[in-house]
Amino acid sequence: MTILDVRPDLDTNIAAAEIAADIYAAGGITVHKHGQHIGAVIDGVALSGDISDETAYAIQYALAAHRVIFFRGQHHLTDEIQYAFGGRFGSQTTTHPTLRSDDNKTLVLEGAASSWHTDVTFIDRIPKASILRAVTVPPYGGATTWASTIAAYDQLPAPLKALVENLWAVHSNAYDYTEVLSARQGNPNLAGKGQNYVNEFTRTVFETEHPVVRIHPETGEKSLLLGHFVKEFIGLKPAESAALFQLLQNRVTKLENTTRWAWQLGDVAIWDNRSTQHYGISDYGDSPRKIHRTTLAGDVPVNVNGESSRIRTGDASHFSVIDQPARLPGFAAN
């Protein structure tokens, strides 16, 4: 590969770009960007629990550098192989803090999550990453879009950076489900299941205070920690919280900071849940759509002053251990 295949700020730093290039070469993968600020397609690997340590490290590195990575042609995958592959990147969570599944390892997603969010931010130990595998693909539509919350932070003017670095948000799983429910109403495969889904999602209420700017534990970069589980900003009136949330979310979801993936069978996506939000697009009519997800345990966010997130309600220890990763080489902040 060429050094131009890495992320822009690595592109401008030849030493960092060489570190990335060496890691990818040792892992036998090639990395091609899928958008300026976010996304890359990885070739040269058949995903399984048997990938070499070098390949696992190269994938981990590409994920940190590009926020969401895509693999094509992985038709050999089953739930078991997907889970074994995930195990190469750390501890895995159970399915979800509240949603159940048959094996408590793989979450079967049927309705697209048509609202911008970072997964499971209502608990303290926000997952590090998730792995999605397309199992049933609709004939049209049903793409997923990811946004870089690091690009969103980087592009803020200095006064807004100062504001958000001192701001905390309360995240809760008892959020506004209107959009998700209305998307489900239009699909006969899901209509009627919507309220059950919400009831199960909220059967235990979790609330956690997170800093709005968190430091990425592997790259040292700052990102905006927001998404649809935010209930309010601490110290602000409800109307002020709503207005500020919209202002900041608009920065996150600016189209230039996103990348969209139109699924084909055999596709796998992995996203870094510490530097992204995502949105599943409900534009596939009444066709079935099924995605299988496994998730990796993450750490507790830390802000620019070294302060950690605080639990208000709910114990997530049955869902996930706390997995504290090491810093990666080649990133400017490290």
Which sequence positions are flagged as catalytic?
A: 117, 119, 278, 293
d(CA 188, CA 205) in angstroms, rounded, equals: 29
Q: Residues 6 or more apart from 259 whose CB is under 8 A from it? A: 34, 35, 38, 39, 68, 145, 146
Residue type for 26, please? A
Taking CB under 6 A as the binding criterion, the range among 1-9, 75-83, 93-101, 105-113 that sits at the site for ligand AKG is 105-113
Residue 275 touches which of Fe ion, ligand AKG, none (Cβ within 5-8 Å per kind): none
Q: Which residue, 146 or 233, has its beta carbon nearer to ligand AKG? A: 146
Position with the least CB separation from ligand AKG: 280
Per-position x/- string for 111-130, each x denoting binding to ligand AKG as judged by CB under 6 A, each - no binding: -xx-----x----------x
Alpha helices (H) along the chain: 8-11, 14-27, 53-66, 79-86, 149-154, 158-165, 178-185, 194-201, 238-252
Q: Residue 307 in contact with residue 211, Cβ under 8 Å?
A: yes
Q: Does 172 bind ligand AKG (CB under 6 A)?
A: no
User: Interface residues for Fe ion in 78-107 (CB under 5 A)?
Assistant: none
Q: Which sign, positive or negative, has the C-alpha torsion 260, 9, 66, 160? A: negative
Q: Residues 6 or more apart from 213 whose CB is under 8 A from it? A: 153, 161, 164, 165, 167, 222, 223, 224, 225, 303, 304
d(CA 283, CA 63) in angstroms, rounded, equals: 28
The 3-state DSSP composition of the chain as helix, strand, coil percent (nearest 5) reads 30, 25, 50
Q: Does 99 bind ligand AKG (CB under 6 A)?
A: no
Shortest Cβ distance from residue 9 to ligand AKG (Å)? 27
Residue 280 touches which of ligand AKG, Fe ion, none (Cβ within 5-8 Å per kind): ligand AKG
Q: Which residue, 208 or 294, has its beta carbon nearer to ligand AKG? A: 294
Among 132, 150, 212, 226, binds ligand AKG (CB under 6 A): 132
Q: Does 109 bind ligand AKG (CB under 6 A)?
A: yes
User: Interface residues for ligand AKG in 268-297 (CB under 6 A)?
Assistant: 278, 280, 291, 293
Q: Which residue, 125 or 222, has its beta carbon nearer to ligand AKG? A: 125
Other Cβ atoms less than 10 A from the Cβ of 24: the count is: 25
List the one residue out of 105, 227, 101 whose CA is nearest residue 170: 227
Q: What is the DSSP string of 113-132?
A: --S-B-TTTTSSS--SEEEE
List the one residue out of 116, 15, 22 whose CA is nearest residue 331: 15
How many residues sit in the footprint of ligand AKG (CB under 6 A)? Answer: 11
Per-position x/- string for 190-229, each x denoting binding to ligand AKG as judged by CB under 6 A, each - no binding: ----------------------------------------
User: Interface residues for Fe ion in 102-131 (CB under 5 A)?
Assistant: 113, 119
Among 30, 144, 173, 223, binds ligand AKG (CB under 6 A): 144
Taking CB under 6 A as the binding criterion, the range among 75-83, 85-93, 107-115, 153-161 that sits at the site for ligand AKG is 107-115
Q: Which residue, 33 or 293, has its beta carbon nearer to ligand AKG? A: 293
d(CA 326, CA 328) in angstroms, rounded, equals: 6
Which residues are near ligand AKG by CB under 6 A? 109, 112-113, 119, 130, 132, 144, 278, 280, 291, 293
